[in-house]
Amino acid sequence: MPVMKKPVAANKMSSTGAISRGRKRLAAKSETSENGGARQSGRPRAPEVDDAILDAALEQMAEQGYQRMSFDSVAKVAGVGKATIYRRWSSKAEVATAALSKRIDSEPQLKQKAFSKEALISMLGAIRERLLQPNNMALVGTLLAEEKQTPELISLFRERVWHRRSSMIRSVLEQGQREGRIAKHVDLDIVIDMIIGSMYASYLRRNTIPADWPERAVETIWRGIGTVTV
């Protein structure tokens, strides 16, 4: 007797796939409106198309790597024509840089906090959440892999992501030194690299960053930098 296959329930569909299909439909509709059937000089660009292209570029960089990413693959994922991408960016490096800038600009700013262990734990918790968002860790690996061939990508990440995060943590640590709650001889560069870098190391080891990792990291490092109990 033949075995009947059970139909796949609708709620089993991947939410990522549904989002991707919705993005394609929106981009295709906006592209048609933008082009008006034929490209008209002076017609404004549709932001929905820009977003679809840049989101697709980030997805392709994270999943396929920069070298394998192409205008063809980005156009397919975004649901637009390749010519639509060329009208906006003339090279793969330009698309990748624009996509990375968009991702960076969407990152919420860490809020300035008064000095305390709790403040550091809170800031690290916010960084952890960002790192664990889909494709973020893979994207960092792609940028490092392209450091020699396309150095502007990792430079952008260093200047606008790492520097932003480390500067906010440094400001809290410096306040602690001024208040005499962190020893003056402590090398803050090392402290910052240890507490942020430990989360990257945790991900490499476990394929995740435990929810309590920010607290564990700060508590461990605190024993070597604090002068009083906070």
Give me the number of domains the chain comprises. Answer: 2
Q: What is the mean pLDDT of the chain?
A: 81
Residue 84 has pLDDT above 50, yes or no: yes
In a domain, 143, yes or no: yes
Per-residue pLDDT of 96-110, as tens digits, reads 999 988 888 877 776
On whether both 117 and 202 belong to a single domain, the answer is: yes
In a domain, 2, yes or no: no
> How confident is the model at residue 112, as a pLDDT?
65
Residue 118: half-sphere exposure toward Cβ, Cα within 13 Å: 3
- Residue 13 — very low, low, confident or very high, per pLDDT cuts 50/70/90? very low
On whether both 115 and 84 belong to a single domain, the answer is: no
User: Tell me, what CATH number does 53's domain have?
Assistant: 1.10.10.60
Structure tokens at 15: 């939410």
On whether both 112 and 92 belong to a single domain, the answer is: no
Alpha helices in the chain (DSSP H): 15-35, 47-64, 71-78, 82-86, 92-105, 117-131, 136-145, 151-157, 163-178, 188-206, 213-225
Give me the mean pLDDT over the 147-169 stretch.
Answer: 90
Domain range spanning residue 78?
A: 16-37+45-96
On whether both 21 and 62 belong to a single domain, the answer is: yes
On whether both 121 and 89 belong to a single domain, the answer is: no
In a domain, 101, yes or no: no
Residue of higher predicted confidence among 10 and 204: 204
In a domain, 102, yes or no: no
User: Tell me, what CATH number does 144's domain have?
Assistant: 1.10.357.10
Give me the mean pLDDT over the 165-177 stretch.
Answer: 91
